[in-house]
Chain A
Amino acid sequence: MAKTIIMPHSVKIKRRLHISRKLSILTTFSTLVLAFGVSGIFFAMIGLNPLDVYSYMVGVYTSPTLLLKALERAIPIGLAALGLSIAFRMNFWNIGAEGQMYMGMFASTGIVLLHAYYDLIPDYLVLLLMILASFVTGGLWCGLPAFLKAKMRVNEILTTLMMNYVAMYFVDFLIYGPWRDPKGYGFPLSIPFPEYAKLTMIFGEFAYSGLLLLCIAVALAVVILRYTKLGFELKIVGEGIDIARYAGIRITKVITLGGILSGGIAGLGGLAIVSGIIGRLRPRASPGYGYTAIIVILLSALNPWLVVPVSIFFGGIFVAGDILQATLKIPGAAVEMHQALIFLFIVVGEFLKRYKITITREVVR
């Protein structure tokens, strides 16, 4: 006689074949609402009215001056994200935009210092040289793990992540040591950058010049990905090493070149921080823009054009954090926790967009 077995509940996770736009927008929106709801509980716990906090945050995007500040922050984030759009296209999981930005800062500041002490080239060439140097240095910082991956299958997630710390502490060392401004009262700061080494040529505002730089980079990324041989090769390598080999693609060359481009554009983001936002080098000059860039590019679905608005949104979150600390006297940790919650919920939302979760209970006769 057959007996009936009731299986326990089972959770199945299936990839959605088609992601509708409606579902996509609805998910992003509701995850954002949830993120604000959860952090609201924490704000209430430390004795703040969550609604006050929210209104300050929304205020960032409605006030022209604050929006300009959000735009400033958006530029390094956006550049790093564009770099990632190239790496991620070939399935190279570059987690190292942060370190590549620090190397960009190192290179730009190095040029300024060299010029300040040796004065080898005319002033108007300095900025150009800084752009070049930050691109190359950031590029090599990502090109190395890319080469190692292509040649020896070294896992790029580990190498790029670890190299972030090397880059960050290297900059710490320079700025607490040899590169400290002798007239800076002992603060760990470089000399302030002279005007010709700053990205402020349009209306004297970094936000405008930076936006121009970002748009040029977007156009560059689009051209590389859509119209060049390299762009097509990146796409095929992203589909798998077997198929790329079959197609006769030189895999080592493509992965290394893609890595250099990816890190190079992130390196420009480093330049934007020291030469645009701050105007000098200081330790920990990036509050994690390189990591934010990962979320930005995933939310933009690797589309370079979408990087601009999405970066401005995330730039605003950083600005809002500063304002909350200054006006409502919220501890910095609480602000960072709030930001982390927003990121976390967005990542979960992205997962829910791509996968369908069903809970079933099977009855077997």
Chain B
Amino acid sequence: MEELVSLRGIIKHFPGVIANDNVSFTLRKGEIHALLGENGAGKTTLMNILYGLYRPDIGEIYVEGRKVEINSPKDAITLGIGMVHQNFKLIPSHTVLENIILGLKKSGLVIKSRKIGEEIKKLAESYGWRINPNAYVWQLTAGEKQQVELLKILYRDAKILILDEPTSVLTPQECRILLQALRRMAKEGKGIIFITHKLDEVFAISDRVTVMRKGRVLVTKETSETNMSELAQYMVGRPVIFTIEKKESRPSGEAITIKNLKAFNDKGVLALKDVNLKVMKNEIVGIIGVTGNGQQELVEVIAGLRKASGGSLIVDGVNIINSSPEKIIELGIAYIPPEPLRYGIAPNLTVLDNLFMKAYRYKPYSNGVIVNWKKIYNKAEELIREFQIVPENPYAKARSLSGGNLQRLILARELSGLIGEKIPRLIVAAYPTKGLDVGATEFVHKTLIEYSRKGSGILFVSEDIEEALMISDRVAVMHDGKIVRVFRPGEVDIDKIGLMMAGVEIAFK
């Protein structure tokens, strides 16, 4: 079969990480090729290279058998490559037609709106879509916006389509329409690369599948010759045995009880459908699941940063649902957020400011009006020593700290009991080791275990199954806004966990 694209030996470094490590990938004419892997596996980087957004350090790109250099998306478009990004790149205040012809050379000086409008309409109808070319983009639903993005590419006669997690914003119905249209495009001889981390989609749509993990391609197979559990295993990797000293937990009293929790995500889709979970004091409960199944919404609702649409959070017999973040902090609920640089750290402020951005308003650091900076400075020095934060200068700007030190800073702020000098009753830790090196990861693990044995309840969200199994006392698998199953590490083998994460129902004896 004719090869549309061939990427050979692609290597791409970013400061401190290898995003693509000697990756090869081919796309055939008329096929839908799923590119599967967890977040950070290097899928998007590889496709951004093909689309000209990045240049590979080493490696060759062939399009229809010819060796090419792709220096910009403009080059890619000329070669017939089009990409639909996860976040749409449309201009909301312009019409569909204007968005589609934007940057198009052949439109000339005078825009023949009526003629182009007819063409767009016809093109859309051939895929079963109903798009009004004169509608404004802000009036469209997410699914329609995606159709416009695709039309924009198809109108430029693209032969190679890249879709980056296209279903993440769609409702199930919109999904079905998209998959039907993609199949029609493949039949017309276009090649489609479908980036995803959802196993069921691979089987629903693709002809071939390539699995990536940690920057490498592990396998490329005909979809009909593989099955879910095999792919899950590739995606997650073999269990790596790390041992960590962990005393038996002695759960004592409830830290928090989550009942029938429901909440919407930023796109207005119900992301938490019905979450039920109990976290005890002296216990670490790990939450695992493929990213985007409601983990982020769950931690945000507990921290008071996202409104719940239903359910309850019970602390000491009181329902604290939708309390202000301030109130929740005062209850002793600590929160280690994902993406610390966006949510957990003010990079332009000092280490001292960041350490005390919650505690400054409480005694003994403030009398209600004036902040006692001397007391804060002394305590900050103490915390910097205890949590081994480098540099040791409380007035260093937070942005000068490495990722590991930023996480130590957050741990110091959240765990050290600055508020009322007691330890937190609940620590919500969302991906606290993501992107950290081995030493920093170990520090985070040890610290969390230490606090759980001192009496805190810990909710530990991770993308890494082995990590979660290693440090948790109980593990909850999350899929599609629900807790699918709760078990103790060792009770369920890792293949089955992978399947549960993918939403496959498994019968247990």
Interface residues of A (CB under 8 A from B): 2, 5, 227-229, 231-232, 235-236, 239-240, 242-243, 245-250, 364
Contact = CB atoms under 8 A, between A and B. Distances in A.
Nearest to A226: B373
Most buried by A among B337, B361, B366: B361
A239 B349 contact: yes
A248 to B, nearest CB: 4
Contact of A248 (B328, B342, B370, B373): B328
Contact of B361 (A5, A229, A231, A243): A229
Interface in B436-466: none
Smallest CB-CB A-B distances: 4 pairs: A248-B326, A239-B346, A248-B325, A247-B357
Interface residues of B, number: 30
B346 A229 contact: no
Contact of A242 (B304, B342, B371): B342
B369 A248 contact: no
Contact of B357 (A2, A231, A236): A236
Nearest to B341: A243
B349 A236 contact: yes
A231 B71 CA distance: 48
Contacts of A235: 349, 353
Contacts, number: 60
Given A2-B69, A243-B345, A364-B69, 9 more contacts: A232-B353, A232-B371, A235-B353, A239-B348, A243-B344, A246-B305, A246-B344, A247-B325, A248-B329
10 contacts: A229-B368, A229-B370, A231-B371, A235-B353, A242-B342, A246-B337, A246-B343, A247-B358, A248-B329, A250-B324
Interface string B319-354: 000001110110000010100001111101100010
B350 to A, nearest CB: 10
Contacts of A2: 69
A240 B398 CA distance: 15
B431 interface: no
B346 A248 contact: no
A243 B60 CA distance: 43
Interface string B351-395: 001000110110000101111010000000000000000000000
A364 B52 CA distance: 14
A239 B342 CA distance: 10
B326 A250 contact: yes
B107 to A, nearest CB: 23
Nearest to B327: A248
Contacts of A227: 370-371, 373
B326 A243 contact: no
Interface string B291-307: 00000000000011100
A26 to B, nearest CB: 25
Given A236-B346, A239-B348, A240-B346, A245 B325 contact: yes
A228 B326 contact: no
Nearest to A5: B71
B216 to A, nearest CB: 28
A242 B357 contact: no
A228 B343 contact: no
Nearest to A223: B370
Nearest to A230: B369
Contact of A232 (B71, B343, B360): B360
A229 B324 contact: no
Interface string B67-110: 00101000000000000000000000000000000000000000
A161 to B, nearest CB: 22
